[in-house]
Amino acid sequence: MKKRQLGTSNLHISEISLGCMSLPPNPAEAEEVIHAAIDAGINYFDTADLYNKGENEKVVGTALKQHRHNIYLASKVGNRWEEGKEGWGWDTSANYINKALRDSLQRLQTDYLDLYQLHGGTTEDNWEEITDTFESLKKEGLIREYGISSIRPNVFMPFLQNSDAISNMMQFNIFDERASEFFDSIQQTGASVVTRGSIAKGLLTNEWRTRLKPFMSYDEADANDVLQKIEQQFGDVHAAALAFNLQYPTVASTVIGARTLTQLKQNLDAYEKAQLLQNISEIDKWTKTDRYTEHR
């Protein structure tokens, strides 16, 4: 498993990382997937306090406890929820971020996070306060680095340009290339992109024929046309999807989800095959150049 530097930080994370939101709620089953991921060379694990309202962090913390100093652990903040109550609100105040981090650390059974990400953001947020809070947490040694998870250019670009944030987690795949417009600008700030949604909810896998449906600006016929060309040219749609994301130097890692060992193995096999694919940029000849139309 190859590794890439995350922004300008000292974190060198695996090209494939595990998005823990997809893990089964059963701790033993989740632990099995996480330990298999570690054995395969995955060293970066992404969760959030919002996932199953803290329960996901508890499962991840238990599974990673014995491996803590050999892996990188990331979580997110901003969605304020209360146990026993429906829904959640948005809170980026210094008081809340400080409290939320300490709650996450307790659930994750660790005394620091390698990366703490703002889980969204709006133009109305107090960005100076947010940045100052993250910097303060760094000084305390409670987080090593901070970043954001956002697909709003008018949110993530000013934040990256006016802080020492090292990453933005963004949806990006063959059928949703909107983020690529900002890859160069993001890299110029000293940050990297971590991609999510890389296989388009299973559409960009070798089972695509049974999963064929509209996705983003592609209707079923459009998607079918692109997928047939990818399969014909590269032989493996899943491998091509991962290679497509990893062709960009701005991308430090592609997050994959795995509920089972079988799904994890499918992703790892695709990653191995992706190493052998050449001329992956050919795919751009067959796809649309979509752009973000809102929050610019």
Active site residues: 51
CA atoms within 13 A on the CB side of 267: 28
3-class SS of residue 128: helix
Confirm if 166 and 134 have CB atoms less than 8 A apart.
no
Picking from 288, 286, 8, the residue whose alpha carbon sits closest to that of residue 146 is 8
Q: Which two tokens stand for residue 244?
A: 């497509």
Confirm if 47 and 75 have CB atoms less than 8 A apart.
yes
Q: Which two tokens stand for residue 228?
A: 């047939």
The counts of H helices and E strands in the chain are 10, 12
Considering all CA atoms of the chain, what is the largest pairwise distance in Å, rounded to the nearest integer? 54
Q: C-alpha dihedral over 100, 251, 192, 64, to 10 degrees?
A: 40
**Kind plus residue range of the DSSP H or E element containing 133:** helix 127-140
Distance CA 270, CA 258 (A): 13
Confirm if 215 and 200 have CB atoms less than 8 A apart.
yes
Contacts of 191 (CB under 8 A, 6+ apart): 7, 8, 147, 160, 165, 166, 167, 168
Distances in Å between the Cα of 64 and the Cα atoms of 31, 60, 124, 284 are 8, 6, 36, 38
